[in-house]
Chains A and B, each alone.
Chain A
C-alpha cells in the first residue's frame, strides 16, 4: 500500500497543487540520495533537506526507488569514476586535507562508489530536474488530455490496468 500511496500522491501533485519546480526538486534530491549508499554524512544531510525544505517528498521517495535500480546498473561505472578522481594526482592535496579533518571522513568520500555515485548524481541532477519540470508542465497543459485520446489508451479503457489506475487516482481524492 505504501507504493500505491506514493503513486497516488505523485499523480495528485502532477495534476495540481505544488509547483512543477517543487516536484522536480523533490525528484532530483531523491534521485541523488538513491544513487549513493545511504549511511554517509551527505546522504543524511540530503535526507534532512528532503524532509525540511518545501519540496515534494512523494516525488523524492519515488526517485529514490528509481535511482536505486539505476545505481545497481551503474555501480561499476561509479567505482571506476570514483577511483579515477580519488587517485588523480592534482587532487591528492585536497583528499589528504579532507581525510585529516575530524568530520569529513564521516562522508566516506574516500570510497570509490560513494564518491563516484555522488559525482554522478550531481551531474545528473540538472537534467533530471529540468526534465521532470518540463514533464509536469506538459502534463498539466494538455498532455493528460492527449494521452486519453490515444487509441491504445482507449482500447485499454475498461481493462483491469485502467481500473487499477483509476483506483490509485481515487485514493488521492481526485
Chain B
C-alpha cells in the first residue's frame, strides 16, 4: 500500500470538488435554460438556480419563459420552485422528480427584454402542419361571397365572350380534328386501287374461257386456276374489311370528341355566372367564410400543445432500437438493453404542483391559478403511464378556465386528448376576413366556450362550442348595395351567437366545418330578397351561352356527319365492286365443278351399260354350253 497514492487521490478529489462547487449552479442553470428554450422556442431565464447533491434537491428563485408569438411577454413565469429527486434511480442515471412545487405561476406578464431566441430552431413538418395545409386550402377554395352583380343590368356581350368559352374552343378543335381525319382518309384510302384489283379478277376469270372447255381433262386445270383466283379475291376482301374497321374507329374517335365538347357547356355557364358575380348562396359555407380564419388561428394555438407532446413524449416505436450497428463511432460502441425490472424512464416528474395569483391586494381582481401535472416523462413507454394535467384559472365572482388533458404515448400509436372549458369570459374584438358585404369584426362581451380534442396517431377530432351574448358586428362602412343592406339589417338584430367548430380527418385529409345560428337566418333572408333576381340573371346568361355554343355545335356536327356520309359511301362502293366479283367468281367455280361432276357421271353410265351387255352375252354363251350333251 502506497501512502503517496492516498495523497494524490485526496488532492484530486479536493480540486474536483472545488471546481464543481464554484461552477455547478451556473453550469446546470445554463444547461437547463437551453433545454427549456428548445421546448418553448423562446428565451428562458432562470434566476438563482441551486442544486444540492447531498439533499438531492434543486430549485430557483424565478423562471421566465418568453412567448414565441409575443416575445415581449412571458408565456409562463414562476417565483420560487423546489424539486425533490429520488435517490435509487440515480444509480441507473435516471432522473426521477418525486415532487415539484412551482409557486406564483402566472402567464402573460410583461418582459423587460426581447424574448426572441438569437438562434433558429429547425422544425420538421408534422401532423399539425398537414392539418393546417388542408384547412387553409379549404378556406382558399371557398366561393367568394360577392353578389355585387345583382341589381345591375347585365352586359351579356362582355360577360359571354364567345372566344373564351371552353365548349366553343372544343368545337373549333373538333372541326380541325374532323378536317385532318378526312384529309388523311382521302389521301390514304385510294378506292380505285381496290376497284382495279376487282377488275383484274374479273379479267382473269374471263380469260379462262370456261364456256369453250368441253372435256373433263381441260375442266380440272381450269378449276385449279379458279381456286388460285379465289385466294386473291379473299385477300382483297380482307384488305377492304380491315380498311372498313379502321374507318369505323376513326369515326368513333371523332364522335367521342363531339361528346367531349358537349361536356364543357355546364362549366361555361357557371364560369360566366361567376364572372357576373351571380353565385348560389350556400348556407353551409357562410359560417366558414365568416368565422373560418379566426377559428383556425385559435385552434392552431391549441394544437401547439399536441405538437409539443408529440415532440417531447416519444411514442414506443421511436424508443425501441436493438439491431446491431455495423460501425458505431470509435470508442462509443453500442448499448445493449435488457429487460429492466423498474419503471424508471430517463426523466420523470411524478407530480408537479402549480399555484399562483396575478395580483396582490384586491383579490376580487386577481386571477388564481392552481393545477397539477402528473407523470411528465420523456419515455412514456417505460413509465407506462400517460402524462396528465389539470389547470384551473379563475377570478372570484368572475370568469373561470379549466384545462385538462392526457398525453398517452405508452404504445406505438399516440393517444392525446384535451379539454378546455371557459366560462363567463370576454372574447373582445375579433377581426373577421375582409368582404364587401360582411362585417369586419365581431364584438362579444361575455361567452362560454367548451373544447374537446382527441388525437389518435395522425387522426384528429376537435370540437369547439361557443355561446356568446351579447354580440355585435362592426361594419367598416355604410351599405352601398342592397345585399350589404340586407346583411347589416339581419345582423343588427342579432344578439346571441352559438357557434360550433369541428376539425376532423386523418392522413393529410382534414376538413374544417363551422355552423352557427347565424347561417339559416342570414341565408334565408338573403335568398328571399335576392333569390328571384339571381335566378332571372342566371337564366339570361345560361340562355346566351347555350345559344352561342349551339350554333358552333350544329356547324361542327354537320361537318362531321358530312365527312362520315362521304367516306361511308365510298367504302360501300368499293365493297360492292369487290363483292360482285367474288360472287361472279364463286358462280363460275360452282359451274365448272358441276360440269366436271356431270362428265364423271356420264362416263360411269357408259361403263355400266357396257358391263351389263358383256354380262348378258356371257350368260347366253354359258346357257348354250349347258344345253349341249
Contact = CB atoms under 8 A, between A and B. Distances in A.
26 contacts: A48-B5, A48-B9, A51-B2, A51-B8, A52-B5, A53-B1, A54-B1, A72-B331, A76-B327, A78-B333, A83-B324, A86-B336, A95-B336, A96-B338, A96-B339, A99-B339, A99-B340, A100-B340, A105-B91, A110-B336, A110-B337, A110-B338, A111-B333, A112-B333, A113-B331, A113-B333
Contact of B328 (A54, A100, A112): A112
A112 B335 CA distance: 6
A106 interface: yes
A111 B334 contact: yes
Contacts of A82: 333
B93 interface: yes
Contacts of A96: 338-339
B93 A105 contact: yes
Contacts of B324: 83, 87
B92 interface: yes
Given A37-B333, A51-B9, A100-B341, 16 more contacts: A37-B331, A48-B9, A52-B6, A52-B9, A53-B1, A53-B2, A82-B333, A83-B324, A87-B324, A95-B336, A99-B337, A110-B336, A111-B335, A112-B336, A113-B328, A113-B333
A30 to B, nearest CB: 14
B311 interface: no
The listed residue with most B CB atoms (<10 A of its CB), out of A54, A78, A100, A106, is: A100
A92 interface: yes
B21 interface: no
B2 A75 contact: no
B159 to A, nearest CB: 77
Interface SS majority for chain A: helix
Contacts of B333: 37, 78-79, 82, 111-114, 116
B196 interface: no
A33 interface: no
A101 to B, nearest CB: 8
Interface of B: 1-2, 5-6, 8-9, 88, 91-93, 324, 327-328, 330-342
A110 B334 CA distance: 8
A117 B132 CA distance: 52
B343 to A, nearest CB: 12
A17 interface: no
Contacts of A37: 331, 333
A95 B338 CA distance: 7
A102 interface: yes
A110 B88 CA distance: 19
B330 A103 contact: no
B2 A52 contact: yes
Contacts of A87: 324, 336
A12 to B, nearest CB: 17
Contact of B334 (A79, A102, A103): A79
A25 to B, nearest CB: 13
Contacts of A76: 327
A27 B363 CA distance: 75
A78 B327 CA distance: 12
A14 B109 CA distance: 73
Interface in A90-125: 92, 95-96, 99-100, 102-103, 105-106, 110-114, 116
A59 interface: no
B327 to A, nearest CB: 7
A100 B412 CA distance: 25
B225 to A, nearest CB: 90
Nearest to A110: B336
A24 interface: no
Given A52-B5, A110-B337, A71 B331 contact: yes
A79 B88 CA distance: 30
A167 to B, nearest CB: 26
Interface string A54-75: 1000000000000000011001
Nearest to A96: B338
Given A100-B342, A105-B91, A110 B5 contact: no
Nearest to A52: B5
A110 B338 CA distance: 8
A161 to B, nearest CB: 33
A42 B339 CA distance: 23
A116 to B, nearest CB: 7
Nearest to A72: B330
The listed residue with most A CB atoms (<10 A of its CB), out of B91, B327, B336, is: B336
Interface string A112-149: 11101000000000000000000000000000000000
